[in-house]
Chains A and B, each alone.
Chain A
Amino acid sequence: MRLTHLILRNIGPFRNPPAISLEFGKNATGYAFFADNGRGKTSIYNAMRWCLFGEVRERATTAGGKRIEGSLRPIVGDGKILMNKDAYENDKVQEMSVMLIAQGKKGQIQVQRIAKSTTTLPRTDDELSIDLSVTIGGNTFSGKKAQEAIESFFPKGLERFFFIDGEALEEYTEMMQSSSLSGLQDDVNAVLRIPALTKGEDDLKMLRQIVKAKIKSSNKASQESTLNRDKARNKQRQLNEAISTVTSVEKSLITVRSKLLETNEKLKGHQEYVEIYKKMDILKAEIKMLEIELSEAANEKMIESKDAWKVLLWAKAGPIYDSFNGQIDDVNNREGIIRALNKEISRDQEAFDAINGICAKCEQPLPDIEKYQNKLSSEIKMKQQKLLEMNNVSAMSSTDLYQSLGDLQKLQPPQRARERILRAEKKWKDRKSRLQNKQEKFANLNSKITAEGKADTDALRVSKGRQEATMTTREKELKNAQDTANAIEIELKNLNRLAGKSSGDSESHAIDLTIGKLIVAINNTITSYRETARKAVEENASSVFLELTNAKGVFSGIHLDKDFKAKIKLSKGGFAVNPSSGMMSMMTISVIDALRRVSGIDAPVFLDTPGRSLDYKHKEELLNYFWKNEGHQFLIFAHSGEFDAQNTISTHSDQLAKAWSLTWPGDHHNCYSCSSENVVFDTTSKTNTCDDCGEKWDIRSNNTMIRELKI
């Protein structure tokens, strides 16, 4: 992959510079950015990391051989933000973007990542929307798919082997010499692409679990299927038996029906008798019914007749009862009259005895007293006569009369008993009469049948009756047998369906087998590859180191142990003791580059502050090595203290494709456009103006200008 363009907008000190073109006619691979501190070397380096991976972290640190991941650099907010400060503080809508254009094996690659504020002044990155789009050979991806696409040509796991931080070389070195390689181990594994196989092994194991579950399920289904097949076979036998029963009953039914038809035919020859028998049968049924009714009527009559004697007796006793009832009234009246007469006689007698001829009020003698006395005496005698007559009447006493009435009342029948008795009697007679009538008719019909005819007809009728009964039984049996057969057939269908559901899963078995073999192949590959790769890395690292070192006769290369712990080998044998820091840096760069080469990833290498810990000769060797034409672009971001721009350009003009300087406007005392020295500084506006070309620039601005240098 070859980077062709880099377009920065509002990132670091870059406000809106023109696109950086890395396209170049000759086949050189070296690129260099020269700048003083703060001009944006690392910002370009970080801009590309952000564009590709969506994050920029501070430099990692090491402690006791362990690598501690650097903190995440914010895009906006306080502190060391990624976004250009002018854009962040002054723009209406804060937006930062980076676009990379490259040429890969699959055609042009274009990656663009944009961060845009979603609020007026975003304080944190949460207030930004991030959009990523990737186009590879005409296919465009966005979001997660876009990030996956980047992984296919520039894996994040290998970032440290392509974005090399010169200031972190000591950290790499420390880790490479440490007995604890936990920090570098993952990187080494990643660069050797071992995760491709270890993750693949995990994937295959998970896949195998699914396949095995499917096989297990299939086996279970197969077992159930076998069980159901056995059940189906039993059920089939039951069905056969049921069908056999149905057939047998049907045959029997046909036979019975045939015989019945035959009997009916024979009976037609005795039609007269048949008619008579029909009538007699009707009569027999009616007689039976009437007999029942007669029996009920007799029973009713018997119940009602229990009061019949009372009815008969009452015919005589009733009048006596009425007479005694009348006499009681007379006796009661006479006794009242006698009591009244006795009272009157007693009162009259007292009045008669009290007469003395003198008025009780005026005490004067009463006139005609004798006349009055005679009249009173005559009334007394008359009443006494009447009393005598009354007492002489011969009659029963009231007590006797009441006694007799009580006795008679016991003989009194219940109300309407007579009517009920008569009605029951009538009903019984009616039933009896009707029964006799039917019996006579029956006897009459019976008398019409001859003994011979009767015998034949009776025999046929008995046969018919028996055959009809048999037919009814057979019909019931047939229905039951058919129902049973139908039920068994339904069960059989269900069992057959279940039995035929699975017949094993041979494909899953084959896949399982293949997965098992792949897992073994992966395990064996990892084991052997680590050693093969170690040797390859060691060989490559030695080759690089010998190219870089300025004491080629003293060293024979780099030794890597099984954990990729590095040592410098001496030509005379043994290892370098206390090598210089420059030597160690060379060793580290050699191992890193060897790992990059073995990884097989075709991508540019970016080296920030490459010569920090190297002396002049090592720096030169470094550039000579990396800028040699091997197809890989190699970009350095150098401080002017590390590499002098003019010297580097003149020394490496054949290897350099392009070079740029990164400056602030205030760095330019000459016109940066036409290089004229006729520049006038305005102290009020703090601007420089070129007298020759008229270019103006604000010297206070910290927005970096990118100027391509002539090679």
Chain B
Amino acid sequence: MADDDILLIEFLKHGATQGLSEQLLREIFTHLSNHQFLPAGEREHVRSELQRIIRNNQGD
């Protein structure tokens, strides 16, 4: 994801305000961007991966 991506910049800014790490925010953003067009009924693995990302970034 390009660093001049406005959506990413905004997300990093608001995520940092919440005290979330940049690495977590970048991983989440990339994952959600890659699956943004996947319909709601087919997102089970997207949620599993989200959980894995969040779990892996605990304590950072």
Contacts and interface: CB of A to CB of B under 8 A. Distances in A.
A536 B4 CA distance: 12
Q: Tell me what chain A mostly uses at the interface: helix, strand, loop, or mixed.
A: helix
Q: Tell me what chain B mostly uses at the interface: helix, strand, loop, or mixed.
A: helix
A148 interface: yes
A518 B20 contact: yes
Residue among B2, B24, B29 with the highest chain A CB neighbour number at 10 A? B29
Contacts of A416: none
B33 A203 contact: no
Contacts of A518: 15, 18, 20, 28, 54
Nearest to A535: B6
A667 B34 CA distance: 46
Interface in A145-161: 148, 151-152, 155-157
Contact of A203 (B19, B34, B43): B43
B51 interface: yes
Contact of A157 (B33, B37, B58): B37
Interface in B7-49: 7, 10-11, 13-15, 17-20, 24-25, 28-29, 32-38, 40, 42-43, 46-47
Contact of B28 (A151, A200, A202, A510): A200
Nearest to A517: B18
A486 to B, nearest CB: 45
B6 A598 contact: yes
Given A151-B38, A156-B37, A203-B47, A520 B10 contact: no
A421 B2 CA distance: 129
B50 A600 contact: no
A455 interface: no
Contacts, number: 110
Contacts of A204: 50
Contacts of A156: 37
B43 A515 contact: no
A147 to B, nearest CB: 10
B3 to A, nearest CB: 11
Given A193-B33, A203-B47, A511-B51, A525 B10 contact: yes
A521 B11 contact: yes
B47 A206 contact: yes
A557 to B, nearest CB: 19
B43 A525 contact: no
Contacts of B20: 514, 517-518, 521
A533 interface: yes
Residue among B10, B19, B55 with the highest chain A CB neighbour number at 10 A? B10
Interface residues of B, number: 37
Contact of B55 (A151, A190, A197, A511): A511
A515 B46 CA distance: 14
A35 B23 CA distance: 51
Contacts of B14: 520-522, 524-525, 528
Nearest to B5: A600
Contacts of A152: 34
Contacts of A144: 42
A155 B37 CA distance: 7
Contacts of B55: 507, 511
A532 B47 contact: no
B36 A193 contact: yes
A510 B54 CA distance: 9
A199 B40 contact: yes
A196 interface: yes
A405 to B, nearest CB: 117
Residue among A195, A197, A521, A522 with the highest chain B CB neighbour number at 10 A? A521
Contact of B17 (A196, A511, A524, A536): A524
Contacts of B57: 514
Nearest to A515: B54
Interface in A201-224: 202-204, 206-207, 211
Contacts of B13: 525
B30 to A, nearest CB: 10
Contacts of A148: 35, 38
B37 A536 contact: no
8 closest Cβ pairs, A-B complex = A196-B36, A200-B32, A517-B18, A524-B14, A521-B15, A521-B14, A529-B10, A155-B37
9 contacts: A151-B38, A192-B7, A196-B36, A200-B32, A202-B40, A204-B50, A521-B14, A521-B17, A521-B20
Interface of A: 144, 148, 151-152, 155-157, 190, 192-193, 195-197, 199-200, 202-204, 206-207, 211, 507, 510-511, 514-515, 517-518, 520-522, 524-525, 528-529, 532-533, 536, 598, 600
Given A511-B58, A521-B18, 17 more contacts: A144-B42, A148-B35, A151-B35, A195-B37, A196-B36, A199-B40, A202-B40, A207-B47, A507-B55, A517-B18, A518-B18, A521-B17, A525-B11, A529-B6, A529-B11, A600-B1, A600-B2
